[in-house]
Structure 1
């Protein structure tokens, strides 16, 4: 069902539109001056009203990311990959939205340490999650003929790793900002690529309690993804 593909697409769309809106408002208000170089994302979002736009954008993005991670976990599981790597992916993938929420709701100009820690957790977990997905994509053979997605995801992960290293080790603030913007855009792109798989999901239902034999007539709906039926435990 192609509607499931709207979840990762919405993640990328809201993220990109929101973050560039923050930058545009910051430039218009004079909070940043592009003639002096590329600003950090946190610098663009340091003052109102762009602070509110930034926070709301990433609150929405965090929810969409959690939904994407959960559905992706069940999808990979339905393809026969029940190992620890898939479990690790959902754990790491769930930490990333938490980091996004923290860094977006604690302004760098007021609460620098929580903002920094949240950003660090988000960036590291996003990169780790995407590398795990490169492995799972190949291992679970999810794409069913869409072989172009594997090298695209691999290439984006390599560039993302280089950009994150630049954020960590470069001394120039403008160079750090350039690497940060590229990393974030690639993160939105990589999550958006899940739409190529999610559009093949037939249906997905949540079961919160296993039925007894006497309750078969009122049996709760299991999780159905890609022709398989799974029960999601509480």
Structure 2
């Protein structure tokens, strides 16, 4: 079993831990500083002052719904939020690249594989923008990043689910395809509901939107963790696929091996071993 499988597992572990502990501290800090409001504090008049709140002065309106972005708007919570997003985006790019190379090494390159790599990297770029351009201070750039990250992450899991089925040969691989499709459908439902509720002028519905937004991110991170299934058989040779630009060299060696007597190695390699 390869140690490479630790990488896709570490992405959801780090990110989810970052959200519920580090970013959980973000959320707790935001609430403590009264940068965000719990549901019971929502009011339309904002007549009651918030005694713990430091500047800028805010009140419990729709602008303070605890969406992921709002949890990382003001310092000190914005520092933790940027750290989690930047590190997570780098790991997303790395996992996507290794998945791309692994498919080429074990099977062959295809449009689905290339599209999966592209959408994964575009999603990572959007995530960097979300984490480093706070919504209250760079709203346009923040929303551009969110508009890139959310659809591309959804498209990425769709493409990877389809790719899993296309390459599946064993029962175990088909079961992994079933699991990924289930996660993808649940993530899609969470994303749609989050978007629908976000458009409503209601404290309760927008609060529900925030909940579904957090759930959506959890599903996406769990999906990345499933790549440990493929990465458990990965070796250092996978990186060589990227350096030589494709599987052509591997295919040529395989053809030579078959011509040499089906031993699995070219004839010169057999002599070297002897």
Q: Per the shorter chain, which TM-score range?
A: 0.7 to 0.9
Q: What CA distance in whole angstroms lies between the structure 2 residues aligned with 1:118 and 1:70?
A: 21
Aligned to 1:32: 36
Q: What CA distance in whole angstroms lies between the structure 1 residues aligned with 2:69 and 2:187?
A: 19
* Rg comparison, structure with higher value: 2
Deviation larger for 161-170 or 64-73? 161-170
Aligned to 2:100: 73
Q: How big is the shift at 1:66?
A: 0.5
1:46 paired to 2:79:
no
Unaligned 5+ runs, structure 1: 211-221
Aligned to 2:266: none
* SS state at 1:205 partner: helix
Q: How big is the shift at 1:77?
A: 1.8
Q: What CA distance in whole angstroms lies between the structure 2 residues aligned with 1:192 and 1:30?
A: 34
For the 8 Å contact 1:102–1:118, the answer to whether it is kept is yes
> In 2 relative to 1, CA 73–136 (structure 1 residues): closer, same or farther, beyond 3 Å?
same
1:148 paired to 2:175:
yes
C-alpha deviations, 1:108-158, integer Å up to 9, x for none? 110111111101211111110100011110111177624432222111111
1:195 paired to 2:207:
no
* SS state at 1:59 partner: helix
C-alpha deviations, 1:171-220, integer Å up to 9, x for none? 2311211110110011110001111211111223348876xxxxxxxxxx
> In 2 relative to 1, CA 119–142 (structure 1 residues): closer, same or farther, beyond 3 Å?
farther
> In 2 relative to 1, CA 208–35 (structure 1 residues): closer, same or farther, beyond 3 Å?
closer
Unaligned 5+ runs, structure 2: 43-64, 253-274
For the 8 Å contact 1:137–1:143, the answer to whether it is kept is no
> In 2 relative to 1, CA 132–207 (structure 1 residues): closer, same or farther, beyond 3 Å?
closer
Q: What CA distance in whole angstroms lies between the structure 2 residues aligned with 1:209 and 1:3?
A: 21
Q: What CA distance in whole angstroms lies between the structure 2 residues aligned with 1:43 and 1:53?
A: 13
TM-score, normalised relative to structure 1: 0.83
Give every structure 1 segment of 4 or more consecutive aligned residues whose post-TM-superposition deviation is greater than 4 Å. Answer: 206-210
Matched length = 216
**Cα RMSD after superposing both structures:** 2.5
Q: What CA distance in whole angstroms lies between the structure 2 residues aligned with 1:70 and 1:34?
A: 40
Q: What CA distance in whole angstroms lies between the structure 2 residues aligned with 1:143 and 1:127?
A: 26
Q: What CA distance in whole angstroms lies between the structure 2 residues aligned with 1:116 and 1:157?
A: 23
